[in-house]
Structure 1
Amino acid sequence: MTPLRIPPPSSRAPSSRLPSLTGLRFLAALLVVCYHLSRQVGTLPVLSPLAWYGRSGVTFFFVLSGFVLAWTYADAPVPARRFYRRRLARIWPLHALTTGASLAVYAALGAAVPVTAALWSLPLLHPWGRGTVMGGNPAGWSLGDEAWFYLLFPLLLRLRPGLRTAALCCAAGPLLWLAGSAVTDPALRSWLLDYLPLSRTPQFLLGAALALAVRRGRLPVLPLLPAALAVAAFHLALVPWHHAVPDPAWHSPYSASQLLSAPLFAALITATAQADLHHPGGPLTRRPWTLLGNWSFAWYLIHEITFRPWLHHHGHPAPGLPTAATWLLLATTSLTLAALLHHLVEHPLERLLRDRPAAPPPGPGSPGVVRPRPAPRTGAVGPGPAEEPRDAPVPSARPSAPPA
């Protein structure tokens, strides 16, 4: 296989450190957690209407995954097989562990145990089947999409996507959403538009194209505040839209929140990265935010599992203060578990599995090569994860299951 080549950056190549993306990852994970709390536990004024379609955070992670990997692998050659091993080391151990934990909770509560779906999820193939998409841990569906993105990534670098590709990816979301009008079965339409890896590929590709454009100096600096306000305005607009159109309808915000938000998230991610490059030391670079961002992948995978036993034993809380207290208890408990998983399982196993003993660098004729630069210091889509090496950002936080 011919080595993959990306033109070297200019002599004024920007710093590789993008710490604000890690803090941003935590905020996206928080959006997903609030989505599940609202739909599964109980609603709160203001917060629940804004988070009712918070599964859009998965779209954020898919775009972030493409951005971080393209940013990271733009220079020094790395064999494709090593890239795949690193990606697997990044996401699979925690995926396998939380899948086992999810199955154990299902069994302990007397619920049906999705053994077949769980088996398909171990090789990360579950989103390709309508009946297996949720795997053994509903939050882990996005890791199957990420695995597909990783498989494509060496070819993606070879094709050198640019701003025209980014524009086509921005158009793909609305076109797919409109195409949903031709599918009358809401469950089938949801699988095709929300979970199927092919439908989510433009989001990953959009992030990658913008990262390469920033690296090559082909994109003007985007203002951060307007990008953030645009994302907030989009989610505010979903509130009246939700009241006007029921979720099963093709033109509801259910799929639209995920397919139409990609360009806005891409602008926010790009603006945040550019702010780190040109004005380092922003608020999201501080230690508390980066620490929370590092925990976000584990939080994404474990939070919904912790909700089930509580709901089974205590039921739904009364509206008002009891619901707020339950939100706080479940969010802090699941975040504490996520911190433990990150430090005791995720990080140690990734370091153990990601690299074999050093070998001579590949030459011009070496098989399949992806080209990484020093990884942005951004912490561990949902997404999963998207960083390389260990310091880069992970789209972890990974996606959410549809409402029960």
Structure 2
Amino acid sequence: MSQRRPVPRLAALDGLRLVAALMVVCYHYLALSRSWGHNPVTVFPTLHRFAEFGWLGVEVFFLVSGFVICMSVWGRGLGDFAVSRISRLFPAYWVAVPLTALVVKKWPEVTSIRGWDDVIVNLTMLQAGNNTRNVDDVYWTLFVELKFYVLMAIVVLCGVTYRNLLIFCGVWTVAAALAPSLGFPALAAFAMPQYAPFFIAGIAFYLMRRFGSNALLWGIVLFQLLLAQRYIDYRMASNLGHVAAEHLPSWPVRLIIIAGFAMVGAIALGVFDRVQWRWLCTAGAITYPLYLIHMFIGMTLIHHFRDRLPAPVLVVSVVALMMATAWLIHRYVERPAGQWIRASMKRGIEDVRLNTPARRKARWRPSLPAAPEERPLHSAGVH
């Protein structure tokens, strides 16, 4: 029996996460007027032109998420998938929500807290589903991620195989393409036509990583890249405003999206397997808490100290402070709390399994082995 070669950690994927996070940070600090009280183009005339496209880091996040979540569900049951997602998402989030609320309450300069009831509801991460205001505007992406997890949970229930994931990608593509014209709000809400191309392409890229590239998978990626162009004007208007979006060229947006696809594709094909810098692991680890805390806390600090420090020094200092705080949250909250949540939830799931009668297999339908191309392989090394 041949031994499988050790699979290298995808450190480049961690680096891409950090780049995406810093793109969003730069967009909020350098392109939006809320921090400065006026158009920051007068403060950063050159950097502003690049920073105003930093919102595309969210699209890169969704692309990476499709890749990583597809990896994380392989060989796992529904309970294990739920444990992995809850223990990953909530510890840092439960720190970010009250921390942001306290800073904004102390200095209501760029935004305000409408009521502590909103803060409490935000702790569930389901506030967007019941029209409760987000404590921080970046939390809208978390609800998009949660809906993606619900869709992936359906795949887990059906069985995570190469074939089933291809069917899932096809069905989701059709649903996302038709949802805007069918008039079913629930379908549009879960099909997420604006963001589905990135998640689906990420799934296809992971299948390339796991089973090798082929024309079918490249066809899925190309199709998603084309579909992603449909909502570029919408995303520009929602992030930059209709007036600014009308005067800005769309080609930089298309170029950044293509670059994101190309980067994840290169990672899937193993181009960056030799990149194993240890600091990239830390960079990937702090990305999520950095994303959660940077916006309103950082913008409030910039607004509060904008007349006391030179603008470049202030922005660099706030970014450094946010990254250091993100590391502290990861080291002293995410890691220990995540381990405790995983252990506690696994004990609860085991109780459910022990107290749930096993279903008997029908004698007339023998179980068949999985097709050779669908048998589980080892994880590619990203957690």
Give the TM-score taking structure 2 as reference length: 0.68
Higher helix share: 2
Structure 1 position 146 matched with structure 2 position 145: yes
In the aligned structure 1, how far is the partner of 2:52 from the partner of 2:313?
19
In the aligned structure 1, how far is the partner of 2:270 from the partner of 2:174?
22
SS of the residue corresponding to residue 198 of structure 2 reads helix
| CA deviation after TM superposition for structure 1 residue 172, in Å | 5.7
Q: Highest relative contact order (Cα 8 Å, sep 6+), 1 or 2?
A: 1
Given the superposition, is the C-alpha separation of residues 197 and 107 from structure 1 closer, same or farther in structure 2, using an over 3 Å criterion? farther
Q: Any residues of structure 2 matched to 1:198-213 within 5 Å, and which?
A: 198-199=192-193, 200-213=195-208
In the aligned structure 2, how far is the partner of 1:138 from the partner of 1:349?
25
In the aligned structure 2, how far is the partner of 1:72 from the partner of 1:266?
20
Name the aligned partner's letter for residue 22 of structure 1. Answer: D
Name the aligned partner's letter for residue 49 of structure 1. Answer: R
In the aligned structure 1, how far is the partner of 2:102 from the partner of 2:254?
33
User: Which residue of 26, 38, 42 maps to 2:18?
Assistant: 26
Aligned twin of 2:364 = none
User: Which residue of 333, 341, 365 maps to 2:321?
Assistant: 333
Given the superposition, is the C-alpha separation of residues 265 and 152 from structure 1 closer, same or farther in structure 2, using an over 3 Å criterion? same
How many residues align? The count is: 327
* Contact 1:73–1:373, Cα closer than 8 Å, also in 2: no
Given the superposition, is the C-alpha separation of residues 87 and 281 from structure 1 closer, same or farther in structure 2, using an over 3 Å criterion? same
In the aligned structure 1, how far is the partner of 2:376 from the partner of 2:341?
18
Q: Which one has a bigger Cα radius of gyration?
A: 2
In the aligned structure 2, how far is the partner of 1:149 from the partner of 1:171?
14
User: Which residue of 301, 312, 322 maps to 1:310?
Assistant: 301
In the aligned structure 2, how far is the partner of 1:167 from the partner of 1:37?
39
SS of the residue corresponding to residue 154 of structure 2 reads helix
Aligned twin of 2:263 = 268
Instruction: Quote the RMSD (CA, aligned, Å).
Output: 4.7
Given the superposition, is the C-alpha separation of residues 35 and 12 from structure 1 closer, same or farther in structure 2, using an over 3 Å criterion? same
* Contact 1:59–1:258, Cα closer than 8 Å, also in 2: no
Name which of structure 1's ranges 101-110 and 114-123 shifts more when overlaid on structure 2. 114-123
| CA deviation after TM superposition for structure 1 residue 344, in Å | 0.7
Aligned twin of 1:383 = none
SS of the residue corresponding to residue 275 of structure 1 reads coil
Given the superposition, is the C-alpha separation of residues 316 and 275 from structure 1 closer, same or farther in structure 2, using an over 3 Å criterion? farther
Structure 1 position 102 matched with structure 2 position 97: no
Structure 1 position 345 matched with structure 2 position 333: yes
In the aligned structure 1, how far is the partner of 2:140 from the partner of 2:152?
19
Please list the CA deviations of residues 146-199 of structure 1 after superposition, one character each: whole Å capped at 9, or x if unmatched. 1111121122354723399479859968x99x98xxxxxxxxxxxxx9x98834
Given the superposition, is the C-alpha separation of residues 120 and 59 from structure 1 closer, same or farther in structure 2, using an over 3 Å criterion? farther
Give the TM-score taking structure 1 as reference length: 0.65
Q: Which runs of 5+ in 1 are unaligned?
A: 1-9, 180-192, 379-391, 393-404
In the aligned structure 1, how far is the partner of 2:252 from the partner of 2:118?
26
* Contact 2:208–2:268, Cα closer than 8 Å, also in 1: no
In the aligned structure 2, how far is the partner of 1:172 from the partner of 1:259?
20
Structure 1 position 155 matched with structure 2 position 154: yes
Name which of structure 1's ranges 100-109 and 305-314 shifts more when overlaid on structure 2. 305-314
Please list the CA deviations of residues 316-354 of structure 1 after superposition, one character each: whole Å capped at 9, or x if unmatched. 678xxx221111111111111111111011121111112
In the aligned structure 1, how far is the partner of 2:83 from the partner of 2:61?
21
